[in-house]
Structures are given as structure tokens and as C-alpha cells.
Chain A
Amino acid sequence: MIWGIDLLILLLVVICAIATITIKDLLSATIIFGVYSFLMCLLWAEMGAVDVAFTEATVGAGVSTILFIGTILHTSRRSKD
């Protein structure tokens, strides 16, 4: 286990999380959230939790993002904060 990569991913995860909640365009925020999920999934795979990683990859980065996008397209992309 190379803790450099570990730390890098963790840092990226935090950056993605902050970006997700600060970006005003909801569609972008959702996509970044997908990235966040995917990074999370990497992290867990690296920690040995393959099943969880698998699930997160299919659900968090996949279906969840699509659902978000579907909703946003039916509502509005705009966010004041």
C-alpha cells in the first residue's frame, strides 16, 4: 500500500467534495460528484473493499449521477449558492 497515492486520492476527494458544493452550475456539480464517487471507489478498492467499490462504481458514479442529471434537466441548472 503506497500511502502517497492514498494521500493524493484523499486530497482529490476533498477537493471534489468542496467543488461539488460550491459550483453554482448544478449539472457541473453533479458531474463532479460523479468524479468524487469514482475516486471514493478507487480508494475503497485500494483498501481491499472490492464489493463496496464495485457497488459504489455502479451506483454512486453510475445510476445516481444519471438520476441527478435527469432531475436537473427537468428542473433547473441554476443554483444561487
Chain B
Amino acid sequence: MKALAFVATLVTGAILLYGTMDFPAWGDPQAPASVHLSTHYIEEAVAETHVPNIVTAVLGDYRGYDTMFETIVIYCAGLAVVSVLRRSR
């Protein structure tokens, strides 16, 4: 079992490493991730939402839908813990 797990881990790791070959260099300002969407956020977010903390702006507004579900996730976690642990009276 352990050997199997080890092999599975190695295979997964190898595939992931293989995938990183094509990544842009670390910290490259010209990487696709840095030039496509985020420039809009950095340049426009303050003007569009009047929030200087871009992370908050994106979190609360541009991707507010995600955040809503994030809140629901943690809410569910709390409920799930209660419902799992409490002995029913």
C-alpha cells in the first residue's frame, strides 16, 4: 500500500514538474498572468470602486460571487461540525 502510494506520488510529482517546464520564469513581469487580467485590476480598480486595497476590491466586488460562496462554505462547515458532533437529544 505504501509502495503504491509512493509510486502514485512520484508519478504525480513528475507530471507536475514536467508541466512546469513551460512556465514563465519566476517573477517575470511579462508573464501572461501578470499582463492579462491583473493590469486591468491594478489600473482601474481604484477608479471603479474607490477602494485602494486592490485585493479587497477584487474580493468584494469583481469576484464578489466567489466570496459569497466562500462565506457559505465556512457557514456550512460550522453547521456540518455541529450536525456531526452534537448528539441528538
Contacts and interface: CB of A to CB of B under 8 A. Distances in A.
B79 interface: no
**Interface size bracket, A side:** under 10
Contacts of A51: 53, 55-56
Nearest to B59: A51
A64 to B, nearest CB: 12
Contacts of B53: 51
Interface string B37-66: 000000000000000010110000000000
A70 to B, nearest CB: 11
A74 to B, nearest CB: 10
Interface of A: 1, 51
